[in-house]
Structure 1
């Protein structure tokens, strides 16, 4: 793989080139395990596509051939993966496809969670006396979406760098051939001119942008669903608290009713000399004791019960109204 190439056309029969090749043992070669010079010589001898009739016959055709070899890095099968070699462009296509499939899987899981929440809500509504258990919400867990978003953003950044490189190469090609329409001036067929590569990169960048928008939409939906669930759980807790307060109020009313009754019963059970006695034991006539017990109980419990039922409204009426400042 070369990083730069310089070409000088001296005359119609002489061309001088210079290249800069990065150092390193594991640097991948340009085309089919050949370095740049071997690839150029091979195409000069065998022609484009192995056809000897398409061998270069002028310095300009040699320059075209060299530029084609130099910019063929995007499409050449130069990256070994799992026993086979694929081009860098195909690697990015596969990566984008994996991200798209992962995003579709996450969205499908989100829809299944919504359906599960709907079914759970229906079961709670059918059984009104069942205790409402608040399930654990998974909408707060967004680590998979965040990792996927980071991955696709990295892919987009790398595609942006490759796009900048293809734009620079396109400018060099147009300057070398002194035309804005590259296809019209080529002697050979080039499957991956910088313009073609730039078009492919634009398509992949647009696809990554769509994936990013989809992930952002999914995160927004999860955030809204989490807010809805929090509001629903808050309503459930409020209803439970109101139900418990009503239960406490019922027990309070029962206590208010039986407290004076129990007190009077204990009081009249005392061995007081002024109380009616019979054979040394305290004895009361029903017509005398019951009106006292139930009458006093009613006199005490009824006002207290009314006060307990109207406590909230009474407290609001007694609260001083805040005067707005003019």
Structure 2
């Protein structure tokens, strides 16, 4: 049996996950989950819709296949094809070649699936102090039978419960002041992160999301006309997705206008300096006659 020597971690976006110091929190656990999902996506697979790599490893199989992204193309976990290809008696040379090739492909898929899960598990264990998952250790087998999802479920059940204080702080993060010197994407990210954090616990509605964004944009003082145009839109068009697109464009135009004005000021400033330097400088000679010196042509005369 051939064993692949490919190390999935070499293609991980996050070679080291964000460590959790001390007792895990929901915020820290969710960050780990997100980073692991980023990594799993990087390990190619044609299974499912063929576009999400090994993301399946970050979900239970049923939950992964319930996602709209894989509707009609359910993921099926690879299985070990056996140590050798099953070649029937009387198979021709070309048939044997195809069977051997298919067996090698199936074995490689299975081994990649297994090695990717082990890599996700190992990286997560490195990011969390062992005392917080040591109860999962088998007295004889250690962690050899532990899966990545087993560990994540344990961390969420033991340490991922949200309190009212957690939810209040999350709203504060969503409403944190945005200033025009920051990328507008920063505002969108903080709101989307807050919605994701509260999902399945105290969902932030779309209307509340839009109100938060509009309040921040209004307080910035730089979107007066854009805000007026937005509020004149049909109610059905005032969605969170549309708001992000609309104000991203409005911000691009705002920045373009600032750049244009700054360029115009710079050009005018240079012109003023040129005019000043080319103007004649009047002095009197020793006889009391007025003379003019031209900076541009370096000449003088009376």
TM-score > 0.5 by shorter chain: no
Higher radius of gyration, 1 or 2:
1
Q: Greater share of helix residues, 1 or 2?
A: 1
Question: Shorter-chain-normalised TM-score: which range?
Answer: under 0.3
TM-score, normalised relative to structure 1: 0.25
TM-score, normalised relative to structure 2: 0.27
